Structure 1
Amino acid sequence: MTNYFLSLLQLCDSNLPTGGFSHSFGLETYIQENKVQDKASFAKWLRMYLDEQLVYSDGLACRLVYEALENNDLAKLWELDRRITVQNLPRETREGTNKIGERMLTIGVDLYASPLLQTYKRRVLESVSFAHPAIVFSIIAFQLEVPQKLGISAYLYSSISGLVQNAVRGIPLGQTAGQQVLREFQSYIQEAVDKIENLAEEDFGAVAPGLEIAQMKHERVNIRIFMS
């Protein structure tokens, strides 16, 4: 068995205590507006979220982190950390993402004792970096010698899996229906990775306005299950 395989499974496990279960990233707005109400409408929303937000933000960030580390360009790494944070306009989503990133960074330092992760954590404590889960995940995957495409695929799968589990609670969606969505999305994730491999860095941060507006509107939804 490849030496990184089990570590990668651990990073993708929904039980990894990063706090992702507390965030819907705008999905709850769509639920309360009755735009997402069952498996079919959720799958449609999730496909849009994958294609129009994850690909151009977190997914492309994963690829750019790999490239920066291959070139030993830490300045580029810190630049990506700042860019992916400041371009995340909805306050709840931005703050929630940073909390998840900080938690993943702490777990990464405890599990892998990586000097780079320790430096990253110190920069966050000094308020010169923010911490983003896509960047933390990619640093760990790179240092475990996970191939780039597999690392991006794993991160996207982890993100999709978390949203499916939140949909199970929030819609609510049955557990079997949730697993069916995950199965259906395996091919979509591969398509997304192929797309990310061919994007230019100038594409970084291109997000559908409707998703950002829904994430902003979440601050004023009537009943809140999720923090974002």
Structure 2
Amino acid sequence: MSGYQLALQQLTDSALPTGAFAHSLGFETYVDASVIADEASFGVWLSAFVSQQLTYSDGLAIRFLYEGVDIGELDALLSASLLPRQVREASVKMGLRLLEIGGEVFPSAELGLYRDVVTTGRAAGHQPLAFAVVARSLGVPLHEALAAYLFATATSLTQNAVRAIPLGQNAGQRLLRQAAADVAAAVERIPHLTPDDFGALSPGLEISQMRHERQRARMFMS
């Protein structure tokens, strides 16, 4: 077993207290509108989310960091491209928690530098960048880091959907098995994207995320 594998499992475990349980990243808007009401309809949304927002935003940011793009520049790009305020704030909230946990459990000089930049207000501290810094410092290859991050996000969202729609636990596992194919496709696609692709995602996803802020009743923060 490679030395980083157990650490990677800990880093992507749903028990890691980043606050992901508090965010739907927009699917709750569709639940409120009865567009998402069951296993099949949530599966359609999750597939779109993985193949679009996770691929062209978080996943591409992780790849660029691995390739040596300045982390401050990537942080600013994420802040600018995440147009829905709640989603932008969710990325930062979960990123700050990951930076805090990483500093205690997976310390590295690279992580320390990013924390300093965030602490001094020169960067926001987005979740995919915090994850990428930790993963790269652990020696995790890019394709494994991408697969782990994307699937962990899909897992968190599915667990939240199980509670919110609600769905049965078996349905949640079926959805994750389906999501694995979308994650694998995204991992194959991300290395071939260009900087011009960054932030290219469906307006429908962004609009639903913006509408969530004014939803009358909700379980999630985003």
- Normalising by structure 2, report the TM-score: 0.97
What is the Cα deviation at residue 87 of structure 1?
1.2
- Are 2:197 and 1:199 aligned? no
Where 1:186 maps in the other structure, the secondary structure is helix
What is the Cα deviation at residue 208 of structure 1?
0.8
What is the Cα deviation at residue 64 of structure 1?
0.7
CA distance in 2, matches of 1:34, 1:157: 26
Runs (4+) off by over 6 Å: none
CA distance in 1, matches of 2:71, 2:196: 16
Contact 2:51 2:183 survives alignment (8 Å):
no
- Are 2:182 and 1:170 aligned? no
Determine the structure 2 residue equivalent to 1:227.
Answer: 221
CA distance in 1, matches of 2:79, 2:167: 31
What is the Cα deviation at residue 222 of structure 1?
2.0
Segments of structure 1 that go 5 or more residues without pairing to the other structure are none
Segments of structure 2 that go 5 or more residues without pairing to the other structure are none
Q: Look up the equivalent residue of 1:7 and give its one-letter code.
A: A
What's the RMSD between the two structures over aligned residues? 0.9
- How do 1:84-123 residues align onto structure 2 when only pairs under 5 Å count? 84-123=78-117
Determine the structure 2 residue equivalent to 1:47.
Answer: 47
Contact 2:110 2:137 survives alignment (8 Å):
no
Cα-to-partner distance string for 1:14-38 (whole Å, 9 max, x where unaligned): 0100001101010100000000000
Contact 2:95 2:126 survives alignment (8 Å):
yes
- Are 2:170 and 1:149 aligned? no
Where 2:213 maps in the other structure, the secondary structure is helix
What is the Cα deviation at residue 221 of structure 1?
1.1
Determine the structure 1 residue equivalent to 2:211.
Answer: 217
- Are 2:182 and 1:188 aligned? yes
Determine the structure 2 residue equivalent to 1:140.
Answer: 134
CA distance in 1, matches of 2:177, 2:81: 31
Contact 2:46 2:179 survives alignment (8 Å):
no
CA distance in 2, matches of 1:7, 1:168: 27
CA distance in 2, matches of 1:172, 1:109: 36
What is the Cα deviation at residue 47 of structure 1?
0.5
- Are 2:70 and 1:67 aligned? no
Q: Look up the equivalent residue of 2:111 and give its one-letter code.
A: L
Cα-to-partner distance string for 1:150-200 (whole Å, 9 max, x where unaligned): 111101011101100110111111111001111121122111111111111
CA distance in 1, matches of 2:80, 2:189: 24
Q: Percent identity?
A: 45
Residues matched between the structures, number = 222
CA distance in 1, matches of 2:113, 2:133: 12
Cα-to-partner distance string for 1:23-67 (whole Å, 9 max, x where unaligned): 101010000000000000000000111112110000111111110
Cα-to-partner distance string for 1:93-112 (whole Å, 9 max, x where unaligned): 11111000000011111112
CA distance in 2, matches of 1:147, 1:126: 30
Q: Look up the equivalent residue of 1:134 and give its one-letter code.
A: P
CA distance in 2, matches of 1:4, 1:48: 30
Cα-to-partner distance string for 1:99-144 (whole Å, 9 max, x where unaligned): 0000001111111221221121121121110111111111111111
- Normalising by structure 1, report the TM-score: 0.95
CA distance in 1, matches of 2:138, 2:58: 19
Determine the structure 1 residue equivalent to 2:19.
Answer: 19
